[in-house]
Amino acid sequence: MRKISFVLFAAIAISACNSSGRKAANYQDSTQTTEPQTGEWVNLLADSTMAGWHTYGKGAVGSAWKLKDGELHLDASKKADWQSAGGGDIVTNDEYENFDLKVEWKISRAGNSGIMFYVHEDTTRYKYPWQTGPETQIADNKENEDGKLIKHRAGDLYDLMSIDKEIVNPAGKWNKTEVIADKGKLTILVNHEVVLQTSMWDANWNKLIAGSKFKEWPGFGTYKKGRIALQDHGADVWFKKVEIKRL
C-alpha cells in the first residue's frame, strides 16, 4: 500500500511540474512581442537615454542632443562645419512603412531644421538622410534665408511642394506638424490644419523630384519604408511629443 501511494504521489508531482512548465512557457511566449502593434501610438521620446535613436550612419545620439522632461533640444552653440558639434541628424532605429507621425517643435531665431521620413540609411551611397527621405521643413520664415524661398518655408515639403496656407507660428513659438503616409497617399498638417496633400511614387511625384535639387540622388523619394529623422542644420531647435502610429 505504501509503495502504491508513493508511485501515485510521484505521478501527481510530475504532472504538476509539467503543467507548471507549460504555463511558464506560454506566459513567456505571450510577452516576447516588443514590436508596437498597428494602431498603437508610441512616444519616440519616452526613453530618457534616446535608446530608440542614433546618429545617421553612426552610433549613439551625440551630446548636443539633450532630452529632459520629454523635451528634446539640439544645442547648436558649438559648430562643426554647418552642423552642430556633437550633433548631426538623428534617425529612429525602427523603420516605418504606413504611419501617422505627430511632432511638436519650435525653432530659434533665423533657424532651420526639418523632419524627414522614409530615410534609407546607406552611407556608402548617401551621406545625409535628406538625400533619400522627403522633408517637411522647419524654419524661421521671417529671418532664415530658406524662409523666403517658395517650397523652402516652414511646413513645405522641402523643394518639392509648398503648403497652401501660412499658419506657422514664428520663431520661439511651438508648432505641431503631422505627417500621414498611407499606401502612397501623403497628407501634412500644421497646427491641426491640412496644408498639403499629394500622392507619392507616381508620375507626378517623379516629376516633382525631377524639378528639384534631389534629382542628383537617384534613390530620393523612392523608398517605401524607412526611418524618421530630425535634422541638425546648425541651429537650436526643440522637439516634444514625437509620437508615431503604424497604419
Q: What is the pLDDT of residue 146?
A: 87
Residue span of the structural domain in which 9 resides: 1-32
Q: Which residues of the chain have pLDDT under 50?
A: 1-34
Burial-class residue 73 by CB neighbours within 10 Å (0-12, 13-18, 19+): middle
Q: What is the CATH number of the domain that holds 101?
A: 2.60.120.560
Residues 19 and 106 in one domain: no
pLDDT tens digits, one per residue of 157-170: 999 999 988 899 99
Cα separation values, 3 from 6, 8, 59, Å:
5, 9, 65
pLDDT tens digits, one per residue of 37-88: 788 999 999 999 999 999 999 999 999 999 999 999 999 999 999 999 999 9
- Residue with grid cell 552653440, as numbered in its chain: 77
- The pTM (predicted TM-score) of the whole model is 0.85
Q: What is the pLDDT of residue 164?
A: 83
Residues 13 and 72 in one domain: no
Residues 116 and 71 in one domain: yes
Report which residue type is found at 234. G
